[in-house]
Amino acid sequence: MATKTKTGRTPWTFREPGMASTSDMARQSAAIPIRNGQVCMVTSRSGRRMVIPKGNLEPNKTAGEIALQEAWEEAGLVGILSPEPVGSYLYEKAGVTCHVLVFVLTVTRAAEVWPERMMRERTWVDFAEAIQRTEEPDLRELLRALMLREPK
């Protein structure tokens, strides 16, 4: 688990491109949206894959704030974000390794209109189907762990 700052925020913040770093990884944050025992997935921008809402870290925003922002922009979802990340995973995109910090979003509202509704399809699936549709092995493992925690 990530440590918290005195303000209670997860201290994973934006790094300006070109700044010195121990890693050349892109840092991202994601939400696994859950409602009534189901996971919300959205189509990737290409429309070829089903993914969870995620995006790059931005200046002056925490990883948790980005997870909430991406859930809204990509899927039209609002809810309560877990105070701590449930894990992270790596994936490759355009030759760059991306490190994604993952939070659980307990969805309280799904809007009919949201910013990327014309680019993405939103669908609710059970955990088993979410695991099957997910390409990233480490994200599949996070979903499996969450499935075991979910009340039946």
In three-state secondary structure terms, 107 is: strand
Whole-number Å distance between alpha carbons of 126 and 128: 6
Q: Whose CA is closest to 126, among 51, 36, 27, 5?
A: 36
Tell whether the torsion through CA atoms of 40, 76, 58 and 24 is positive or negative. Answer: positive
Check residue 23 and give its pLDDT.
58
Per-residue pLDDT of the chain (152 residues; tens, 9 = 90+): 343 434 444 444 444 443 334 357 899 999 999 999 999 999 998 888 999 999 999 999 999 999 999 999 999 999 999 999 999 999 998 899 999 999 999 999 999 999 999 999 999 999 999 999 999 999 999 999 999 987 76
Check residue 94 and give its pLDDT.
87
- Sorted by where each starts, the structural domains of the chain and their CATH numbers stand as 26-149 (3.90.79.10)
Residues 6+ apart with CB under 8 A from 68: 31, 81, 105
**Cβ of 152: how many Cβ atoms within 10 Å?**
3
Note the pTM of the prediction, 2 decimals: 0.84
Check residue 152 and give its pLDDT.
61
Check residue 81 and give its pLDDT.
98
